[in-house]
Structure 1
Amino acid sequence: MQERNTTLETTSHISRNSSENVRKMPDERIPGKLIGAIVAVGSLAFIGILTETVMTVLFPQLMREFNVDTATVQWITTIYLLVVAATMPLSSYLNRRFKHRTLFLAAVALAVLGSLIMIVGHAFPVILIARVIQGMGSGVATPLMINIILEQSPKSKVGRLMGVGSLVITVAPAIGPTVGGAVSSILPWRAIFVIVIPIILLVSLPVGLKCVEQHRPTEEARLNSLQFVSIVLALCGLVMFLNQAGVAVSAAVSGGSATVSAVFAVVSLIVGLGALLFFGWSSKRSFSPLIRLGWLRDPMVLLHLIAYMLLPIVGIGFGYVITNVAQLSLGTSAFLSGALVLPGALIGAFFAPVGGMLYDRFGPVRPILGAFFAAICGPILLLVFSMRLTPVTLAGFYFIFGLGYSLGFSNIMTNALRNIAPQFMPDGNAVFNTCLQFGGAAGTALFSTILSVAQAGAGEEGGATFRHATAVGGSWTFATMIGIVAIAICCLIAAFRIGAKRNSRL
Structure 2
Amino acid sequence: MNKHIEVKSPKMMAFILMLGAFIGLFGETALNMALSNIMEQFSIAAATAQWLTTGYLLVLAILVPISALLMKWFTTRQLVIGGLGISLAGALLAALNVNFAVLLLGRVVQAVGTGLLLPVMLSVMMLIFPIQKRGVVMGLMGLVITLAPALGPTLSGVIISTLSWPYIFWFSAIFYVLLIAVAAAKIDNVSEITKPKIDLSSILLSTIGFGGLIFALSTMAEEAFSSPKVWAPLLAGIIALILFGVRQNTMAQPMVNLRVFKYPMFTLGTLTMFLGILIILSTGILLPMYLKGALFFSAAMAGLLLLPGNAVNFVLSPIVGALFDKVGARRFTIIGFIFVLAGNITFLATISSHTAAWQVVVAFMILFFGLTMVMMPAQTNAMNQLPRELYGDGSAAINTLNQVAGAAGTAISITVFTSGQSSYAMDFPGAAQPEILAAGIKHAFYFITGISVVGFVLSFFVKKPGEVKEVSPAAVKTTEPARL
Instruction: Check whether TM > 0.5.
Output: yes
What secondary structure, in the 3-state scheme, does the structure 2 residue paired with 1:97 have? coil
1:215 to 175, 179, 190: 190
The answer to whether residue 318 in structure 2 is matched with residue 353 in structure 1 is yes
Q: Which residue of the partner structure matches residue 181 of structure 2?
A: 206
Q: CA deviation at 1:49?
A: 2.4
How is 1:218-233 mapped onto 2 (pairs within 5 angstroms)?
218-233=193-208
Q: Which residue of the partner structure matches residue 477 of structure 1?
A: 444
Q: Which residue of the partner structure matches residue 130 of structure 2?
A: 154
The one-letter code of the counterpart of 1:453 is S
1:398 to 360, 364, 372: 364
CA contact (8 A) 1:292 1:427 kept: yes
The answer to whether residue 26 in structure 2 is matched with residue 59 in structure 1 is no
Q: CA deviation at 1:32?
A: 7.6
Q: CA deviation at 1:499?
A: 7.8
Alignment partners' CA distance in 2, 1:268 and 1:169: 28
Q: Which residue of the partner structure matches residue 414 of structure 1?
A: 380
How is 1:11-50 mapped onto 2 (pairs within 5 angstroms)?
33-50=9-26
Q: Which residue of the partner structure matches residue 478 of structure 2?
A: none
The one-letter code of the counterpart of 2:67 is S
Q: CA deviation at 1:216?
A: 4.5
Cα deviation, 1:247-291, whole Å, max 9, x if unaligned, reads: 234xxxxxxxx97xx122111221111011011111112222110
The one-letter code of the counterpart of 1:145 is M
Q: CA deviation at 1:350?
A: 3.3
CA contact (8 A) 1:179 1:338 kept: yes
Q: Which residue of the partner structure matches residue 441 of structure 1?
A: 407
2:86 to 74, 87, 110: 110
CA contact (8 A) 1:345 1:403 kept: no
The verdict on how the C-alpha distance between 1:501 and 1:39 changes in structure 2, with shifts beyond 3 A counting, is closer
The verdict on how the C-alpha distance between 1:42 and 1:223 changes in structure 2, with shifts beyond 3 A counting, is farther
CA contact (8 A) 2:268 2:382 kept: no
Greater than 6 Å deviation, 4+ residue runs: none
The answer to whether residue 355 in structure 2 is matched with residue 379 in structure 1 is no
Q: Which residue of the partner structure matches residue 475 of structure 2?
A: none
**Identical pairs, percent:** 26
Q: Which residue of the partner structure matches residue 273 of structure 2?
A: 308
The answer to whether residue 460 in structure 2 is matched with residue 493 in structure 1 is yes
1:77 to 43, 49, 53: 53
CA contact (8 A) 1:358 1:367 kept: no
Q: CA deviation at 1:185?
A: 1.6
Q: CA deviation at 1:312?
A: 0.7
Alignment partners' CA distance in 1, 2:236 and 2:361: 40
CA contact (8 A) 2:71 2:191 kept: no
The verdict on how the C-alpha distance between 1:65 and 1:390 changes in structure 2, with shifts beyond 3 A counting, is farther
CA contact (8 A) 1:175 1:346 kept: no
Alignment partners' CA distance in 2, 1:40 and 1:73: 31
Alignment partners' CA distance in 1, 2:448 and 2:260: 29
The answer to whether residue 97 in structure 2 is matched with residue 131 in structure 1 is no
Bigger mean CA offset, 59-68 vs 90-99: 59-68
CA contact (8 A) 2:381 2:465 kept: no
Alignment partners' CA distance in 1, 2:130 and 2:64: 25
Cα deviation, 1:391-449, whole Å, max 9, x if unaligned, reads: 22112101111122122202212101111222112111110111111111211122222
CA contact (8 A) 1:283 1:292 kept: yes
How is 1:161-172 mapped onto 2 (pairs within 5 angstroms)?
161-172=137-148
Task: Give the structure with the higher percent helix.
Answer: 1
Q: CA deviation at 1:233?
A: 1.4
Alignment partners' CA distance in 1, 2:465 and 2:14: 33
Alignment partners' CA distance in 1, 2:7 and 2:252: 37
How many equivalent residue pairs?
Answer: 465
The verdict on how the C-alpha distance between 1:115 and 1:323 changes in structure 2, with shifts beyond 3 A counting, is same
Q: CA deviation at 1:173?
A: 3.2
Mark the runs of 5 or more structure 1 residues left unpaired by the alignment: 1-9, 15-24, 250-257
CA contact (8 A) 1:77 1:444 kept: no
CA contact (8 A) 1:47 1:172 kept: yes
1:187 to 135, 138, 163: 163
CA contact (8 A) 1:319 1:341 kept: no
Alignment partners' CA distance in 2, 1:293 and 1:194: 39
1:240 to 215, 220, 224: 215
Q: CA deviation at 1:360?
A: 1.7
Cα deviation, 1:477-498, whole Å, max 9, x if unaligned, reads: 1111111121122223234499
CA contact (8 A) 2:295 2:434 kept: yes
CA contact (8 A) 1:110 1:137 kept: yes
Q: Which residue of the partner structure matches residue 331 of structure 1?
A: 296
CA contact (8 A) 1:321 1:474 kept: yes
The verdict on how the C-alpha distance between 1:389 and 1:223 changes in structure 2, with shifts beyond 3 A counting, is farther
CA RMSD of aligned residues (A): 2.7
Bigger mean CA offset, 333-342 vs 213-222: 213-222
Query: Taking structure 1 as the reference length, what is the TM-score of the superposition?
Result: 0.85
What secondary structure, in the 3-state scheme, does the structure 2 residue paired with 1:420 have? coil
CA contact (8 A) 1:327 1:333 kept: yes
The verdict on how the C-alpha distance between 1:272 and 1:194 changes in structure 2, with shifts beyond 3 A counting, is same
- Higher RCO structure (Cα 8 Å, ≥6 apart): 1
The one-letter code of the counterpart of 2:211 is C
